Amino acid sequence: MHIVNTRLNLLSSNLFLIFLIHILISCSSCSKNDASTEAEEEEETKALSLTKTIPIGPNSWVMNNLAQDQNIISESGIQNWSSLDDVIRTYVKTGAGELNVGLKMKSSEGSSKIKVTVGNTSKEITSSNTTYKTEEIGTFTVPAGYNYIEIKGLEKSAANIVEISDILFGGAAIASGVTFNPASNFYFGRRGPSVHMGYDEPSGKDVQWFYNEVTVPEGEDQLGTFFMANGHAQGYFGMQVNSATERRVLFSIWSAYSTDDPSQIPEDYKVTNLGNGTGVTVQDFGNEGSGIQSFIDVDWKAGVTYKFLLKGEPSSVSGSTDYTGYFYDPEVGDWQLIASLRRPKTSNHLERLHSFLENFNPSTGNLSRRVNYGNQWVYTTDNSWTEMTSGTFTADATASNGDRLDYEGGTNGNTFFLKNCGFFNANVQPNTPFSRTASGTSPNIDFTSLETPKLPDPPAEVTLLDRSSWSVIDYSTQEDKGGEGETGRAADILDDNLDTYWHSCWNDCTATLPHHITIDMGAQTEVLGVRFAQRQTLSRTVKNIEIQVSTDNSSWSSLGNFELQNIKEVQDVNFASSETFRYLKFISTSSHDGTNNAAMAEIKAYIN
Q: Where are the domains of the chain?
A: 52-180, 190-449, 471-606
pLDDT higher than 90, residue 413 = yes
Q: How far is CA 572 from the centre of its chain?
A: 37
Could you report the per-residue pLDDT of 219-241, keeping only the tens digit for each? 999 999 999 999 999 999 999 99
Q: How far apart are the C-alpha atoms of 174 and 100, rounded to whole Å?
A: 9
Per-residue pLDDT, 460 = 75
28: phi then psi, degrees, rounded to nearest 5: -60, -45
Per DSSP bridges, beta strands 195-199 and 97-106 are unpaired
CB 312 within 8 A of CB 321: yes
CB 78 within 8 A of CB 149: no
Per-residue pLDDT, 303 = 98
Look at residues 471, 465, 466 and name the one whose alpha carbon lies nearest to residue 583: 471
CB 597 within 8 A of CB 485: no
pLDDT higher than 70, residue 16 = no
Residue 316: exposure state from Cβ atoms within 10 A (0-12, 13-18, ≥19): exposed
Could you report the per-residue pLDDT of 299-356, keeping only the tens digit for each? 999 999 999 999 999 998 889 999 999 999 999 999 999 999 999 999 999 999 999 9
Per-residue pLDDT, 34 = 47
| Residue 21 banded pLDDT, cuts 50, 70, 90 | very low
CB 20 within 8 A of CB 26: no
Q: How far apart are the C-alpha atoms of 563 and 151, rounded to whole Å?
A: 50
Q: Is the dihedral of CA 491, 497, 503, 507 positive or negative?
A: negative
pLDDT higher than 80, residue 201 = yes
Task: Look up the CATH superfamily of 471-606.
Answer: Galactose-binding domain-like (2.60.120.260)
What's the maximum distance between 2 C-alpha atoms anywhere in the chain? 156
- CB-based contacts of 442-449 (< 8 A; 24+ apart in sequence): 442/377, 442/385, 442/387, 443/211, 443/307, 443/309, 443/375, 443/377, 443/385, 445/211, 445/309, 445/335, 447/209
Per-residue pLDDT, 184 = 96
Per-residue pLDDT, 46 = 54
Per-residue pLDDT, 242 = 95
Per-residue pLDDT, 288 = 85
Q: What is the mean pLDDT of residues 44-69?
A: 90
What is the SS3 assignment for 535?
A: coil
Could you report the per-residue pLDDT of 439-466, keeping only the tens digit for each? 999 999 999 999 998 876 777 788 999 9
CA dihedral 474, 480, 481, 487 (to 10 degrees): 170
Could you report the per-residue pLDDT of 108-148, keeping only the tens digit for each? 778 999 999 999 999 999 999 889 999 999 999 999 999 99
Please write down the HEC assignment for all residues of 40-90: HHHHHHCCCCCCEEEECHHHEEECCCHHHHHHHEECCEECCCCCCCCEEEE
Angstrom CA distances, 277 to 296, 331, 451, stand at 9, 17, 8
Per-residue pLDDT, 264 = 92
The neighbour count for residue 124, using CB atoms within 10 Å, is 14
CB 590 within 8 A of CB 544: yes
Pick the CATH number of 52-180 from 3.40.50.150, 2.60.120.260, 3.30.70.2190, 3.40.50.700: 2.60.120.260
Q: Which of 4-13, 197-206, 292-301 has the lowest mean pLDDT?
A: 4-13
- For Cα atoms 361, 366, 369, give the angle at the middle one, nearest 5 degrees: 80
Could you report the per-residue pLDDT of 502-512, keeping only the tens digit for each? 999 999 898 89
Residues 6+ apart with CB under 8 A from 559: 547, 548, 549, 575, 579
pLDDT higher than 70, residue 14 = no
Per-residue pLDDT, 263 = 87
pLDDT higher than 60, residue 485 = yes
pLDDT-above-90 percentage for the chain: 84
CA dihedral 249, 198, 364, 180 (to 10 degrees): -170
Transcribe 476-520 into DSSP letters. S----SSTTTT-B-GGGGGSS-TT--EE---TTS---S-EEEEEE
- For Cα atoms 528, 530, 531, give the angle at the middle one, nearest 5 degrees: 130
| Residue 15 banded pLDDT, cuts 50, 70, 90 | very low
Two domains, one topology: 52-180 and 471-606: yes
Per-residue pLDDT, 510 = 85
CB 293 within 8 A of CB 341: no
Look at residues 351, 338, 276 and name the one whose alpha carbon lies nearest to residue 312: 351
Per-residue pLDDT, 318 = 85
Q: Which of 7-11, 262-266, 419-423 has the lowest mean pLDDT?
A: 7-11
**pTM here?**
0.77
The neighbour count for residue 510, using CB atoms within 10 Å, is 10
Per-residue pLDDT, 9 = 46
Q: How far apart are the C-alpha atoms of 182 and 358, rounded to whole Å?
A: 20
- The single-letter code of the amino acid at 374 is G
The neighbour count for residue 464, using CB atoms within 10 Å, is 10
What average pLDDT is seen over the chain?
Answer: 91
The helix (run of H) or strand (run of E) holding residue 22 is helix 2-45
- CB-based contacts of 266-271 (< 8 A; 24+ apart in sequence): 268/344, 268/345, 269/344, 269/345, 270/344, 271/341, 271/342, 271/343, 271/344
DSSP 3-state helix, strand, coil percentages of the chain (rounded to 5)? Answer: 15, 45, 40
For residue 236, what are the β-bridge partners? Answer: 252
pLDDT-above-70 percentage for the chain: 92
